[in-house]
A and B are shown apart, each in its own frame.
Chain A
Amino acid sequence: MIRRLPRSRGDRVRWGVVLVLFLFVALIPPLAGLNENLNPDASSRFQIFLGTSALVLALWAISYNLMLGYTGMVSFAHAAYYGVGAYTVALIFKRYHLPILLGLAAAPFAAAAVGVVTGLVAQRAVRLYFSLLTLAISQLLFSLAFTWYDFTGGDNGISVTVPDQLSDYTTLYYFTAAVVGLCLLLMFLLVRSPFGAALLSIRENRQRAAAIGINVKVYELAIYTVASLFAGMAGGLFMLYQQQAYPEMLYWTANAQPVVVSLLGGTGTFLGPAVGAFIYVVLDNAVSKQFPYQFDIILGAIVLGVVLAVPGGISDAPTVFLRLRERFHRGEKAEVAPAESAGEAIRMFDVRKALATDAIQAEEVHPGQTLLQIDHLSRRFGGLRAVEDVSLEVKQGDRHAIIGPNGAGKSTLFNLITGQLKPTSGTVKFGGREITGKAPHVIARTGIGRAFQITTIFPKLTVRQNLQFAMLAHAGYTVRPFGFANRIFYAEAQELAEAVGLGAWADLPAGQLSHGDQRAIEIAISLALGSKLVLLDEPTAGMSAYETDKAMELVRRLATERHLTLLFCEHDMSVVFSTARTVTVMHQGRVLTEGTPEQVRHNPDVQKVYLGELEQEELGA
């Protein structure tokens, strides 16, 4: 299950950067001393101080990037947790006269405690409104620090004189470096773990993340809390070298610093913000002393440059990097070219396998017990009855098609089954278990997979990762904050990718593949989830006739080989009649009729419904 992967050139480059950074950090104090000897104007104390502040900023920014870069959340409250960390140290040391290192140990937990409570509140909203809620939270905490004179010292904040052992600049520097290093290591292990994989999948596609069984809200709250924990640590360290905590640390505009630093260094890489922090501190020191206002303009220009120059958003940076590397490497493995024309992958799969499939397909499929049972299901949108009193049974092993003109309620019915919508009334049972109105990730875990009408995959993850992450979620491993996600289920995902004809493209970002191949990935994700029932919402929409044939051949083969039950809706009648064993016809939200393809084809009501739409097609054929 776990396999050691060969180190690629990219890995070697990455570890080289880590080594250089490590040496740079370790050598700052001696270099500063050397600089002072050569140039009496340069104070080594000051330069070591700058080094300390860069380290703390790096920790703060990387903790911010856990949200920004890895989960795609923009928080305006992160500075508040940083401030809470600083205040914790100051209060414990100054007000309660306890050891300052005890304060430092408590800082991350105090920040995390505030983080988890306020995070729960912020979670009530998503995306933009989430950001605005964090803004309100941040201003609340700021007002509290600003106005609660007796406790926080109000607008003056709290000044502290740190004990002698820590007042030596070099000692404090190495102490800070050690703490920051340990925190970075912990965060690195976290983002590489199956838990980190869940975060990445949320950033890539919330809907798909839920559909592979990830409880998006819980994971977002978890990373929000973890980020505030490390922000609290950074704030505590800030307190040690600045020897003060003040309310402006919590003001919402203070979040600009970690954001700018993350963007500067790159949100797509783990250590990017650390590099950004050192650049920022140097730039700040060089420019803002003489030209404080120009510094704002430079920062603005940097942010604007990054935002406008990296297409697809800042979270796209890794893809740009991958694409460049891909271009660089293409010469070496010329035989692995991305699928250029639509459906090429499917075209290329083993002909013998396809022939064998036809043989299996010729056998009669015997529908078994009821797998999915829908009783009197209705859903209204205001006055519109999108689905009205629909009852339906899907038998085990069946290939069940739902057809009907546009607006018949097919997609709404699918959304009711997989939990995207909650029914107004009625029940849905799967394998005898009631799943009515459950959340999408819960339903996904019971064994219903889904390919959406608009292809829903993780576009920036590789084909293999798409499948690996689904397998991780299915196995329940995504709760693990340890282990390397990319090494788990590696072989299984590769095998599955090969089974759907995409083995050769397993290392490409899924979004680069053709439309038909992306649909194949989506179906493979359902298989990776071990789904017993797979819902396909117009599986061949937008495909050419040739692609359609090949795609449905794949679907039929997989269904036979893996004993799947299919429920699909489709407009292409040739697809319906070549694949379905049972057909349900819907019209204006209701079930019009149900039967074998042959019965449905000759039903006069169905002909009436489809008249005009199907006349030219093969209704009479």
Chain B
Amino acid sequence: MTPGQVLLFAVGGLANAAYLFIVAAGLSLVFGALRVINMAHGSLYMIAAFVTVVIGNQLGAGLGFWGGMLVAVAVAGAIGGVVEVLVLRRVYGREHLVQLLGTYAVSLIIAGAVRIVFGANYRTIVSPIPGHLDLGGYSYASYSLFMIAAAIAIGCAVWAMLYRTSLGRNIRAAVADPDLLNATGVNVTRLYTTVFMIGAALAGLGGSIVAPSQAVGSSIDTDVLVLAFAISVIGGLGSIVGSAVGALIVGMVISFGLVIPATNPFALAFVFIIMTAVLIVRPRGLFGLPES
């Protein structure tokens, strides 16, 4: 493999890592604050991808995409809010299997609804940032570079939200001791709704941002969910830094696994081998919080 090829696949890996990080950060944020694994996280991603494609194409190429993205993120956040109020509030503090099954039920309902509304066909949208960058004989899609930049920006924004705002301070306090936080006059119930909506919006942002680079179909919910799980487990549930590291590992493995002949058919298997290995050595992932 030439250095040029390595760079090509590294950038491909970074682009994978970019959208996966955005999705996994949402999953991890929700787990950190609410101690709930959201099985419907991939469904919110899928809804947003469909909304982006449909509205984006409706509004016209280029600018239409950005309009679609705005609506998509808002829709994902809003659905997240509804799910939190109607379902999650009733399962906090229950056995984790109840939470898994509750959010799993939501994912089934959303999957059915998406297929009714958007149909079973794959849909696509043209990239809002066309063109490519030529370097060393290989060309790099400008949109991939945009995704990487966007993921870095979103990562910084989430970090700043957690560590530089009063909302973030409350979220971190809720992770440590929700009862005490409640006693200091913070409405923890509403805080949980907010956190869940932010998580849902991140899932939506991930789905929206990935739409121009992948075909959008009605099975992308479980595909992305299982990768987001792998990332969260490798990086550690509840840690944003962990999500970034996990996304990098998974993104690179997928990118390079597809080209290195020896591992070719086993690219995805490789992700799960790493996931298993990490869990065996460090049961809470590289940067994980303990399970309460």
Contacts and interface: CB of A to CB of B under 8 A. Distances in A.
Interface string B208-222: 000000000000001
Contact of A313 (B94, B269, B273): B94
What range describes how many residues of A lie at the interface? 35 or more
A299 B108 contact: yes
Contact of B108 (A139, A297, A306, A308): A297
Main SS at interface, chain A: helix
A445 to B, nearest CB: 26
A139 B102 contact: no
B100 A303 contact: no
A135 interface: yes
Given A293-B112, A304-B109, A136 B276 contact: yes
Interface in B69-118: 87, 90-91, 94-98, 100-102, 104-109, 111-113, 115-116
A303 B283 contact: no
B284 interface: yes
A253 B222 contact: yes
Contacts of B291: 127-129
B9 interface: no
Given A128-B291, A129-B279, A296-B112, A144 B229 contact: no
A544 interface: no
Interface string B185-226: 000000000000000000000000000000000000010001
Contacts of A143: 265-266, 268-269, 272
A294 B222 CA distance: 18
Given A131-B100, A308-B102, A121 B109 contact: no
Identify which of A72, A74, A121, A128 gathers the most chain B CB atoms within 10 Å of its CB: A128
A372 interface: no
B226 to A, nearest CB: 6
Given A136-B279, A139-B272, A303-B101, A128 B37 contact: yes
B286 interface: no
Contacts of B265: 143, 147-148
Nearest to A306: B101
A606 interface: no
A314 B105 contact: no
Interface in A239-266: 252-253, 256, 259, 263
B133 interface: no
A306 B97 CA distance: 12
A133 B279 contact: yes
A610 to B, nearest CB: 28
Given A139-B226, A144-B269, A293-B112, A300 B107 contact: yes
B278 to A, nearest CB: 9
Contacts of B183: none
Interface string A274-304: 0000000000000000001111110111111
Contact of A294 (B100, B116, B230, B275): B116
A308 B87 contact: yes
A231 interface: no
A74 B98 CA distance: 10
A137 interface: yes
A125 B96 CA distance: 14
Nearest to B119: A293
A307 interface: yes
A464 B113 CA distance: 49
A132 interface: yes
A465 interface: no
Given A68-B97, A121-B280, A147-B265, A132 B112 contact: no
B53 interface: no
Nearest to A135: B229
Contacts of B222: 252-253
Contacts of A128: 37, 96, 291
B91 to A, nearest CB: 7
A124 B279 contact: yes
Interface of B: 37, 87, 90-91, 94-98, 100-102, 104-109, 111-113, 115-116, 222, 226, 229-230, 233, 265-266, 268-269, 271-273, 275-276, 279-280, 283-284, 291
Interface of A: 68, 72, 74, 121, 124-125, 127-129, 131-133, 135-137, 139-140, 143-144, 147-148, 252-253, 256, 259, 263, 292-297, 299-304, 306-308, 312-315
Given A131-B100, A252-B226, A299-B105, 12 more contacts: A68-B97, A121-B280, A128-B37, A132-B279, A139-B271, A140-B276, A147-B265, A147-B269, A300-B111, A301-B109, A308-B87, A314-B97
